[in-house]
Chain A
Amino acid sequence: AQTVTQSQPEMSVQEAETVTLSCTYDTSESNYYLFWYKQPPSRQMILVIRQEAYKQQNATENRFSVNFQKAAKSFSLKISDSQLGDTAMYFCAFLDGNKLVFGAGTILRVKS
């Protein structure tokens, strides 16, 4: 069974600084998708960034980028120039076929 592990329950970062959230996963598949979703206090689930496993190039979306290490089964999220609006719960997720599995989440607090 696929599992997703986020080892950091909580993280804090100063406004304008950079923070990295960790995620590892376990699978025997070679083709799959990885995602980071953000859940602010409004509880809406918002896609931050996605990565197809067959693509070696790391995905980037403005201030958000990933470090995808397929052999190590690692998928970390880097947030640059952190903003107060980035304060939220961040979930790493794995999609294999139709099964979308989430990690336990990391609470990120951006401090002014």
Chain B
Amino acid sequence: DTAVSQTPKYLVTQMGNDKSIKCEQNLGHDTMYWYKQDSKKFLKIMFSYNNKELIINETVPNRFSPKSPDKAHLNLHINSLELGDSAVYFCASLTSGTGGTEAFFGQGTRLTVV
């Protein structure tokens, strides 16, 4: 069973379009994240949710809007896509249980804006 799953894995779209990336975790974790990995592989935190509440918003343009309908899901909607939005987007969830603290990542969504 996939612990953190993102859909789609690949997304090619034109400038100006609106698109969504979905993320689901079946681990029962309270905290979830969205990261953007640019062409230089730098991982930048975008948002973090804890039990459906937004707790971190890292100066991301308003065109990016996360939504958490429940604590197992964290979706990312992007309006008016720009060329600079092309990147790999990772969803992750965080556990701090008795097994240790660890972030589990989805497989990433490669977004290409043309």
A33 part of interface (Cβ distance < 8 Å) = yes
Contact B107 A33 (CB under 8 A): no
One digit per residue, 1 when the CB lies within 8 angstroms of any chain B CB and 0 when it does not, for chain A 83-112 equals 000000101010100111110110000000
Given A43-B88, A91-B43, the answer on whether A98 and B101 have CB atoms closer than 8 Å is: no
- Interface of A, secondary structure class, is strand
- Chain B residues contacting A33 (CB-CB under 8 Å) are 101
Residues of chain A at the chain B interface (Cβ within 8 Å): 33, 35, 39, 43-45, 47, 50, 52, 89, 91, 93, 95, 98-102, 104-105
B15 part of interface (Cβ distance < 8 Å) = no
B50 part of interface (Cβ distance < 8 Å) = yes
- Give the number of A-B contacts (CB < 8 Å): 52
Contact A100 B108 (CB under 8 A): no
- Interface of B, secondary structure class, is strand
CB B99 to nearest CB in A, in angstroms, measures 11
Contact A98 B94 (CB under 8 A): yes
Contact of A100 among B45, B50, B100 (CB under 8 A): B45
Contact of B41 among A50, A100, A101, A105 (CB under 8 A): A105
CB A106 to nearest CB in B, in angstroms, measures 10
Docked complex Cα distance between A33 and B102 (Å): 9
13 inter-chain pairs at a CB distance below 8 angstroms, sorted by A residue, are A39-B41, A43-B108, A45-B90, A47-B102, A50-B102, A93-B103, A95-B94, A95-B101, A98-B94, A100-B103, A102-B35, A102-B43, A104-B40
Contact of A43 among B102, B103, B107 (CB under 8 A): B107
Contact B48 A98 (CB under 8 A): yes
